[in-house]
């Protein structure tokens, strides 16, 4: 059985390849919160999912995308955060399957939007935040 591609890295690379997402964040898509954020930015985390045990090297990760934006300290920018979350959701809904980056050895079959975009309060940071939940179906190219 071939190695399963890293779902978070594959999802990050997919997001960077989406013109609507890149137009808002440039290359600021991460799998961890940045220590010193530059706004707006997007994170993706694997929350769970299932691995197909049939030997086909198929993974179905459950992903959470978080879109953040702020105009300054304790000045959330909900409009930009929402626009970014919508760009991710719409790109996922319009996706038809592809190899995003041949270096990843990953083929994405589909995304299924589960929830969002929805606003989450960030009282500790003062950032604007919207989140989108989806599953992704991927397999190894090798």
Q: What is the per-residue pLDDT across 5-26, written as a single tens digit (0 to 9) for each?
A: 889 999 999 999 999 999 999 9
- Structural domain of 63: 7-140
In a domain, 2, yes or no: no
Q: How confident is the model at residue 1 (pLDDT cuts 50, 70, 90)?
A: very low
Q: Select from 58, 41, 66 the least CA-distant residue to 1.
A: 58
**Structure tokens belonging to residue 78:** 């909900």
Number of domains within the chain: 1
Nearest residue to 132 (alpha-carbon basis) of 108, 116, 120, 119 = 116
Tokens representing 93?
Answer: 């809904």
pLDDT class for 50, splitting at 50, 70, 90?
A: confident
Whether residue 18 lies inside any domain: the answer is yes
Q: Specify if 119 maps to a domain.
A: yes
**What is the C-alpha to C-alpha distance for residues 36 and 60, in angstroms, rounded to an integer?**
32
The DSSP line for 113-126 is EEEEEEE---TTT-
Asked if residue 1 belongs to a domain, the reply is: no
- Kindly state the average pLDDT of the residues 79-93: 96
**Of 138, 120, 137, nearest to 129 (Cα)?**
120
More confident residue, 74 or 87: 87
Tell whether 67 is covered by a domain.
yes
Burial class (CB within 10 angstroms; exposed 0-12, middle 13-18, buried 19+) of 96: exposed
Q: What does the pLDDT average to over 105-109?
A: 81
CATH code assigned at 127: 3.30.2000.30
Instruction: Look up the pTM and report it.
Output: 0.89
CA distances from 113 to 48, 65, 73, 126, 133 (A): 15, 11, 32, 27, 6
Residue at 69 is within a domain: yes
Higher per-residue pLDDT: 102 or 90: 90
């Amino acid at each position: 059985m071939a190695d399963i591609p890293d779902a978070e890295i594959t999802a990050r690379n997919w997001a960077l390849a989406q013109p609507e997402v890149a137009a808002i964040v440039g290359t600021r898509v991460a799998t961890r919160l940045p220590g010193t954020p530059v706004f707006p930015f997007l994170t993706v985390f694997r929350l769970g999912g299932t691995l197909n045990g049939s030997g086909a090297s198929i993974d179905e990760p459950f992903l959470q995308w978080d879109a953040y934006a702020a105009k300054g300290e304790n000045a959330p920018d909900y409009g930009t955060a929402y626009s970014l979350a919508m760009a991710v959701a719409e790109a996922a809904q319009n996706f038809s399957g592809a190899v995003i980056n041949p270096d990843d050895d990953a083929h994405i079959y589909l995304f299924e939007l589960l929830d969002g975009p929805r606003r989450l309060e960030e009282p500790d940071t003062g950032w604007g935040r919207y989140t989108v939940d989806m599953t992704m179906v991927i397999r190894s190219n090798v």
